[in-house]
Chain A
Amino acid sequence: MSQQERGTPDTQAPTDRGGPYVGTPIIMATVRVVMPFVFTFGLFVMFHGADSSGGGFQGGVIVGTVVLMLGIAFGIEATREWIGSRLPVALVGVGVLAFLFTGIGSVLLGAGFLDYSVYAEIGVPKASKYGIEFVELAIGVIVAGIVTGLFFAIAAGFDGGESA
């Protein structure tokens, strides 16, 4: 992953019109070191929300922050090309559908909407706990996708002229 980005900042930084986000070695090195920890922390907050404070919303925002850091360090356009402009929106849709089908699935199994405990019947261990964590993951995916998409959209501006 870092191999791809290593080449981009030199070509990216000077062309940014008036932006303050000129790639500097300090920011790039810091982001490269900090990024995996922030990403892990985001996933921790998302998954461990069942047992400590946190949850999908907070974890999703922190995971989204990783993309923001990459954008600021290595150039927003380069990061968007690497991630793909459709992926964030696709993630948001997938997250909402996953949440929805979790609810519909429990109805199909004969229980109430979002009644996680019924998933034990099809062999999910600790159905209620893992059902809740799956939903938290879906929320996290939605929020991370929205944060990333907003970041790219605002950075690209209203006219969309410089979007690649």
Chain B
Amino acid sequence: MTPLELALLVLVLGAAVATAALRSVLSSVVAFGAYSLGIAIIWVFLRAPDVGLTEAAVGAGIMTVLFLLTIVKTEHPDVERTFERIDVRAAGVAVALVLVLSTTLFALPAVGDANSAVADDDVTEYYLENAYEETQVNNAVTAVLAAYRGFDTMGEAAVVYSAGVGLLVVLDREVFG
């Protein structure tokens, strides 16, 4: 692990803890934006630029703006303490959950491991070898999303449509009636 990656992990963990621990909601939103940005850079380190782009645009960009818009509508009293008072029992439960989930980390292959299922799986090989001839696009991720799994993606589009339109109706029927 390079120092840069270590610094990123520290940034993400610090931002996550700050999001939970900061008492002012505005500070929490800002810390959450920093957390999303750090996660986006980590995705790029893990050779997943498509996911990183999504995380940066949605997590760090749009979500931060929507959260800010929402807390404008709320009362935010003056904060005398910087940090929330930590509930020891709740923190203990959270740490225990993280530890239990961390046990699965050892089952994951190392980043860039040549023998991992990601690298030598038949399906992966097939996509990498045939995607360009069959779909004429260079980005294998796009080939899988739009061509091989086009039906899934259409389902996703329908989910975005129904979730979004449903939310718009619930939020404000006057505006979109």
Chains A and B are bound partners: yes
Interface residues of B in 129-177 (CB under 8 A from A): 134-139, 141-143, 145-147, 150-151, 153-154, 157-158, 160-161, 164-165, 167-168, 171-176
- CB–CB A129/B135 < 8 A: yes
> Would you call B62 an interface residue if the criterion is a C-beta within 8 Å of the partner chain's C-beta atoms?
yes
Give the shortest distance, in Å, between B56 (CB) and chain A (any CB): 9
Main secondary structure of the interface of B (DSSP, over half): helix
- CB–CB B138/A51 < 8 A: yes
In the complex, chain B residues whose CB is within 8 Å of the CB of A7: none
Contact with B along A27-54 (1 / 0, CB 8 A): 0000000000000000001000111111
- CB–CB A53/B61 < 8 A: no
- CB–CB B54/A57 < 8 A: yes
- CB–CB B53/A53 < 8 A: yes
**Chain B residue with the shortest CB-CB distance to A143:** B160
Interface residues of A in 92-142 (CB under 8 A from B): 92-93, 95-96, 99-100, 103, 113-114, 116, 126, 128-129, 132, 135-136, 138-139, 142
> How many of B's residues come within 8 Å of A, CB to CB?
46
In the complex, chain B residues whose CB is within 8 Å of the CB of A145: 164
**Chain B residue with the shortest CB-CB distance to A52:** B139
> Would you call A58 an interface residue if the criterion is a C-beta within 8 Å of the partner chain's C-beta atoms?
yes
In the complex, chain A residues whose CB is within 8 Å of the CB of B66: 150-151, 154
> How many of A's residues come within 8 Å of B, CB to CB?
57
A39 and B46 alpha carbons, distance in the complex (Å): 28
> Would you call B14 an interface residue if the criterion is a C-beta within 8 Å of the partner chain's C-beta atoms?
no
- CB–CB B139/A49 < 8 A: yes
Extra A-B contacts (18), CB below 8 Å, given A50-B139, A96-B157, A132-B142: A51-B138, A55-B139, A57-B54, A58-B54, A58-B57, A89-B176, A128-B134, A132-B135, A136-B142, A145-B164, A147-B62, A150-B66, A151-B66, A153-B172, A154-B70, A155-B69, A156-B172, A156-B175
26 A-B pairs with C-beta separation under 8 A: A20-B72, A45-B53, A49-B139, A50-B137, A54-B139, A55-B50, A55-B146, A57-B54, A58-B50, A61-B62, A85-B176, A89-B168, A103-B150, A114-B147, A132-B142, A135-B153, A142-B160, A146-B160, A146-B161, A149-B164, A150-B167, A150-B171, A153-B167, A153-B175, A154-B66, A158-B171
